[in-house]
Amino acid sequence: MPSLLVAPCPPFALVAVPSFAGVPWTGLAWVVGLWLTALACVAISSWAVATTEEADVAGGGRWAFGFALLPALVAAIVLLGGRWSLPIAWGLMAAILIPFVRQRDAAVPDSRAFLSRGGLRNITAELRDRLRQWRGEGATDRRATLREQFTDLVGRLKSALASPGGKGGRAKKAAKKVGKKSHAVTAPKDAFTLFKKDGSVLMSLPLEGGDKATVSANVRNTQKLLMSAIRGRVTDLVLDPGPKHYLVRVGSGSGLRDAEKVPVEAAHGVLSTIKVVAGLKVAQPGGKGTFGLAMGEARYDVQVTSTAEAEGEKIVLAIHQAAGGMLHLALEGLGLRPKALEQLRELARKPHGLLLVVGPPGSGRSTTSYALLREIDTRTRKVTTIEETIESRLEGVTQIAVETSGGATFGSVMRMVLKQDPDVIYVAGLPDRTTVELACQAALTGHMVIATIDSKDTLTALTDLMAMGIEPMLLQTSLTGVVAQRLARRLCPKCRVPTEPPEAVLRKCNLQPGAVQRIFRPRDKGCPACGGTGFRGQLALHEVLAINEQVRRLIASPLPTREVKAAAVLNGMLTLQLDGLSQVLQGETGVDEVLAVTS
């Protein structure tokens, strides 16, 4: 039986505590400290080596080599250092780790920096991500054999040689390697699947990358980037080039935020993979393309825009998801007010005339245009589309892609299409005066023409066309309607904060004070459901101008914008801002968000 000692306690009590005098406490403490030191050393070394690969840490090769030697140095200190070996070992790890973290923080955005105001939160998030990777969530539980690890190393070397950062031939090899995956693959429900724009499966991978020996680093990095964006409910993803890094910026609707920095070589591999999937030329910057992807049973449409800049090639991705994808929505799924929905449906079913869909790039014009085309019965009416990039396949519709790089123009293609006498023509963009005049003339000769154009709103579209040199008489006789659109971020339903509606908003909506008791605004730091943004998803704001006889007469007046607006409002038209404020009163979005996208 162990003896009992009288432990000192507060003066009012004495407690008998077992001493276990025969237990070697010093030896146990030494063993526990040794194991903790070994685990900390291995964890720090593996994390640092992985970090130098993921972020462009200055002197990354030297840091990786130093941390690879750290376990051996700690082991030598423990064996030769005596009773002070463990404190010395911890001091050595701290002396190496602190300057490395400073270098690492300089290569990542503030949202991931450790030595910052939110450092504790960022460290916790990093540990959580590493724990998920260690658990192998979504991946195979089988450990890789020595042969598979060697194959993986060879694959990494090959993918580095195939990086598009070098000559065009290397980029073509990388593209060819990705393209080989397009045969004999399926799209299982528990996988990450990439689709070409025609709907055929390009490749299918396990949700967390699977066997690294069979997938190149470029494909894994692309998969990781896209999955992170989808899980964060991102709709806009931008890769901005820089001298040493590519800055990844993400957003949902209006506004972008910095997400991470990617080394140039790794970013080039991602760009190459995205361009191959989207059907773009890898070695040639610029162009537009589309592809599809699926995560489990959820399907997404991705629109890709590539532009050449001074620092390199910039890639912009627009990611949309709905029932079958955003581009597969019907008019009912656009969130239109009942009256606006009825007006648009009536305009789409007219036998002839010009219907314009206007707004800035990224405002959802293509989605609305495709929804209008789905209102048309293709069994009785012949429909042809003219697009720079075919964004979605439409059943029973002839779709033509304009190869502008080969010298074709929208005007020349439209002349060819008119010779085939279609009933309905969709033109994805009116780039010049010639194409606009052809569209107006086609509308006057019995064709229904739906076209998109960059413009601020419905009334500005009229003045923009006149500024291009289009005769007011031509617009008077051919135009049947104009619909303008904007996208606003939808408030997160889980964390939105109630607030009192401003009197200015109530006056704008012709409401008396007290008619609406509360509206909502985004919470400052959001919640996990919305990724800390306060917003979750998007909604569309619409302005529908139906051309009646009164508006038609006013188009050629000296001040068409002011007079046409007054007539349209009297006819029941809601401006973009008023439509947005009506969504505010329903608790769907915030006042500041509406003002930001409509001003």
Report the C-alpha gap between 334 and 343 in whole angstroms.
14
pLDDT digits (tens, 9 = 90+) for 486-506: 888 888 888 888 988 888 888
Q: Which residues belong to CATH 3.30.450.90 in the chain?
A: 147-321
Collect contacts of 52-56 with beta carbons under 8 A, ≥24 apart: 55/104, 55/107, 55/108, 55/261, 55/263, 56/107, 56/244, 56/245, 56/261, 56/262, 56/263, 56/264
Q: What is the mean pLDDT of the chain?
A: 77
**Mean pLDDT of the region 502-531:** 82
Per-residue confidence (pLDDT) for residue 554, from 0 to 100: 83
Residue 170 dihedral angles phi and psi, to the nearest 5°:
-65, -40
pLDDT digits (tens, 9 = 90+) for 202-212: 788 877 655 54
Residues 6+ apart with CB under 8 A from 519: 498, 499, 500, 501, 505, 584, 585, 587, 590, 591
Going by pLDDT thresholds of 50, 70 and 90, the confidence category of residue 294 is: confident
Per-residue confidence (pLDDT) for residue 140, from 0 to 100: 37
Mean pLDDT is lowest, of 49-58, 291-300, 348-357, for 49-58
Mean pLDDT is lowest, of 134-148, 361-375, 414-428, 566-580, for 134-148
Q: Are 335 and 461 in contact (CB under 8 A)?
A: no
Going by pLDDT thresholds of 50, 70 and 90, the confidence category of residue 110 is: low
Residue 493 dihedral angles phi and psi, to the nearest 5°:
-70, -15
Right CATH for 147-321 from 3.90.230.10, 3.40.50.300, 3.40.80.10, 3.30.450.90: 3.30.450.90
Mean pLDDT is lowest, of 217-221, 399-403, 504-508, 553-557, for 553-557
Report the C-alpha gap between 592 and 491 in whole angstroms.
12
Mean pLDDT is lowest, of 30-34, 219-223, 518-522, for 30-34
pTM of the entire predicted model: 0.57
DSSP summary character for residue 114 = S
Per-residue confidence (pLDDT) for residue 141, from 0 to 100: 36
> Taking each helix axis from N to C terminus, what angle separates 458-467 and 560-570, rounded to the nearest 10 degrees?
150
Q: Which residues belong to CATH 3.40.50.300 in the chain?
A: 326-487+538-574
Per-residue confidence (pLDDT) for residue 11, from 0 to 100: 44
* CATH fold for domain 326-487+538-574: Rossmann fold (3.40.50)
Per-residue confidence (pLDDT) for residue 489, from 0 to 100: 85
Per-residue confidence (pLDDT) for residue 159, from 0 to 100: 46
pLDDT digits (tens, 9 = 90+) for 145-179: 444 445 554 554 444 444 444 333 333 333 333 33
**Mean pLDDT of the region 44-70:** 73
Per-residue confidence (pLDDT) for residue 324, from 0 to 100: 44
